[in-house]
Structure 1
Amino acid sequence: MSFVDFEYLLNKISPLISKQDTDFRDAIPAKYRLAITLRFIASGDSYKSLHYLFKVSPQIISKVIPEVCNAINQVLRDEIKMPSTKDAWINIEKGYRRKFPHCLGSIDGKHIVIENPPHSGTEYFNYKKTFSIVLLALVDANYKFIFADIGCQGRISDSGVFNNSLLWQKISRNEIDFPTPCPLPGSNIDVPYVFIGDGAFALSEHVMKPYPGQHNVGSPKRIFNQNLSKARVVVENTFGVLTSVFRIYRRPIDLDPSTVSHITMTCVLIHNFLRKNSPERYTPPGTFDVIDGNGQLITPGSWRNYNSCYNAI
């Protein structure tokens, strides 16, 4: 995060987190409260480690971090917003068009690993043999979240989380202003616009998934699955950036699940905030795969050759 972005965020949340000095001690300045919180989510340090770094007691830090996260969630809540018009959805589709036409976003779930909450039994126990809550996310082609549902128990599958989410409710009630179905290139059959996911999701009019099973190389189903995977990997890459930058996710989080949900929402909002304001600093060139002018997928390891070809052109 740049100094400019830090100051912008500090000015936004200062009225919400600033405290008055008392006769016995000075209040912790807002900039220190924000710095402690950002350090916590960026490093995953324990409260005790932060105590030695900032000279603030672990007990105070345990109160500061949730308070600052709630303030950030409040001032940055508009960073995640689903399109409300057909034209806005079409703008998202343009980013996916060369990979998978009529795609309005890539959807997937990520397990946020936590320590087993007291007296919860197997409520949060998932198929990976860990305890977790689920982050269900819809991501656009610019690696930004356009929908996030956080907090469902890890024992529930991605499809189950999706079926209980606000997104599916809006789809079922026809409350999303989807673009009007139209033919794909080279066809005259109207095809609806869809969200794409992996095999865990159920196929429906506006949710597309791969063909199940193994298919011969070069077969239409194999080609379809490959193209869908190229587009769906966007959400996987976004999760990868989130866990690489916010290293709090590198180990189980020993906090209450509701607190972890608020912290995760903070990370998601800051991710979108930095992708919009400082994309080159937050995700330097070479972070993501790209598609060249010939439709070939260029991986970060191939950037040197790609740049050489680009300069030659």
Structure 2
Amino acid sequence: MPEKSGSMYYNYKNYFSIVLLAVADSNYRFTYIDIGAYGKECDSTIFKESSLWKLMEKNELHIPDPEPINELQDQDFPYVFLGDEAFALTTNLLRPFGGYHLTTTKKVFNYRLSRARRYVECAFGILSNKWRILHRPLNVATDFAVDIVKAACILHNIIREKDGLHYEEHEINELPIMGFEDAVHQSNYVRGGRHANEIRNKYAEYFVSDAGSVPWQNSSI
């Protein structure tokens, strides 16, 4: 238990923790990390207080301009981050459609979003399986624990650049994520504004089009 922290680090799984908020790319590399938030805080609060969110809000992330997804498309699509239900829907961050009675188009979108987000889960799996120190409680000062996790993420990226990935896809999907738990999913963000919803709908329509669909998606929803 961190000194003089009360219950701030005490999470919903009933132990003390810090939060690692991360963005990963399709090569399982971390492109952004924010470490050290209180374990009791929910994803949405942590994200809203992060430097990433503030840069997104000020349009200072230097995200590339929208462009067609492939040569068969003449529509421009914005580059986007992918998040789960805890995150805000914005023009550059897609989250799943909520609700229980979804159309096929919305179900397919949610499936494709979940499939793409698997890269993030796999990045955490690779990280935790490489650095076994993350398998046990870190009985050190909080600042030192933050440094340990930060160093592990940096070394993870260095190894990814140097050695590449030595797992088959099925092995990646089976990697256990040791030492990590999801933060509380308590979203304060539901409506993303008309433009953000239009962008999500645009991606949803693309995923069920001839150009954007994959053969197995309807059997997976």
- Percent of aligned pairs with the same amino acid: 38
The Cα shift of 1:189 comes to: 4.9
Matched, 1:235 2:120: yes
Cα deviation, 1:116-171, whole Å, max 9, x if unaligned, reads 21321111112222211111111110000111111111111112111111111111
User: Which residue pairs with 2:42 in the alignment?
Assistant: 157
User: Which residue pairs with 1:288 in the alignment?
Assistant: 172
Matched, 1:209 2:209: no
1-side partners of 2:38 and 2:20: how far apart? 10
The correspondence for 1:250, drawn from 135, 141, 158, is 135
1-side partners of 2:156 and 2:119: how far apart? 15
The Cα shift of 1:173 comes to: 1.4
Any idea what SS the aligned residue of 1:131 has? coil
User: Which residue pairs with 1:133 in the alignment?
Assistant: 18
CA contact (8 A) 1:133 1:153 kept: yes
Cα deviation, 1:4-63, whole Å, max 9, x if unaligned, reads xxxxxxxxxxxxxxxxxxxxxxxxxxxxxxxxxxxxxxxxxxxxxxxxxxxxxxxxxxxx
CA contact (8 A) 1:210 1:225 kept: yes
Which shows bigger deviation, 195-204 or 183-192? 183-192
The Cα shift of 1:197 comes to: 0.6
* Gapped regions of structure 1 (runs ≥ 5): 1-115, 298-313
Structure (1 or 2) with the greater helix fraction: 1
Cα RMSD of the aligned pairs, angstroms, is: 2.3
User: Which residue pairs with 1:192 in the alignment?
Assistant: 78
**Deviating 4+ runs (over 3 angstroms):** 182-191, 283-287, 294-297
CA contact (8 A) 1:215 1:222 kept: no
Letter in 1 for 2:82: I
CA, structure 1 residues 229+215, in 2 after alignment: closer, same or farther (shift >3 Å)?
A: farther
Alignment of 1:1-313 (within 5 A): 116-183=1-68, 189-215=75-101, 219-280=104-165, 283-286=166-169, 287-288=171-172
Structure (1 or 2) with the greater strand fraction: 1
Letter in 2 for 1:288: I
Any idea what SS the aligned residue of 1:260 has? helix
CA, structure 1 residues 173+167, in 2 after alignment: closer, same or farther (shift >3 Å)?
A: same
The Cα shift of 1:215 comes to: 4.5
- TM-score with structure 1 length normalisation? 0.52
CA contact (8 A) 1:137 1:148 kept: yes
- Specify the structure having the higher radius of gyration (Cα): 1
CA, structure 1 residues 142+215, in 2 after alignment: closer, same or farther (shift >3 Å)?
A: farther
Letter in 1 for 2:172: F
2-side partners of 1:190 and 1:228: how far apart? 19
Letter in 1 for 2:39: G
1-side partners of 2:74 and 2:163: how far apart? 42
2-side partners of 1:138 and 1:144: how far apart? 8
CA contact (8 A) 1:123 1:153 kept: yes
2-side partners of 1:219 and 1:204: how far apart? 23
- TM-score with structure 2 length normalisation? 0.72
Between the two proteins, the alignment pairs up a number of residues equal to 175
Cα deviation, 1:89-121, whole Å, max 9, x if unaligned, reads xxxxxxxxxxxxxxxxxxxxxxxxxxx213211
Any idea what SS the aligned residue of 1:118 has? coil
